[in-house]
Structure formats: structure tokens, C-alpha cells
Amino acid sequence: MHTNIRKWGNSAGTIIPAAILQEAGLEIGDALDAQVVEGKVILSPVAGELTLEDLLAGSPRDNLALTDDDREWLDAPSGGREI
């Protein structure tokens, strides 16, 4: 079965046909590990629960930096009875 790689934000993605998802026992939202083996892209289900560290490992550090708006919000005085 053929599929195409398409631009997806600053990355690229492809659609996995429903028949392949079903045969592989995968569902929407499942986590996959991506590897290149001998020039082939291999997607494998991630076993077990993902930790926050796992989720952040693939995030570019630049995307994790606080913006000026973030800092302004964090430094703002409370406006009521917040804890």
C-alpha cells in the first residue's frame, strides 16, 4: 500500500491507512517509536506508559522556552483568592 509524505507544520507526516492500523493492532493516539534501519523507516508501538521525560525527549528545546507573555503571566500578581 502506498502513501505520501506531506508537510505538517515544521515537520512531515504520512497517513497510515485504516487497514494497516487494524492489521498492526494500532489505534488513533497510540505512541510509536520511529527508527531508520538499513534506509527503511520502521514504526513500532511503544510498550507501556510514556513518562513526561519520554514525551519531552522529542521536543525541540526552542519550543520549551518561556515567551515574554509566559513570563508576564507567571510574574503577574494574584487577582483574587488564588492559592
> Each residue of 16-66: pLDDT tens digit?
999 999 999 999 989 898 999 999 999 999 877 778 887 788 788 777 788
Instruction: Tell me how many domains the chain contains.
Output: 1
| pTM more than 0.85 | no
80: in domain:
no
81: in domain:
no
The CATH code of the domain that includes 41 is: 2.10.260.10
- Domain assignment of residue 17, given as a range: 5-75
21: in domain:
yes
Under the phi-then-psi rule, with left for phi > 0, alpha for psi from -120 to 50, and beta for the rest, what region is 29? left
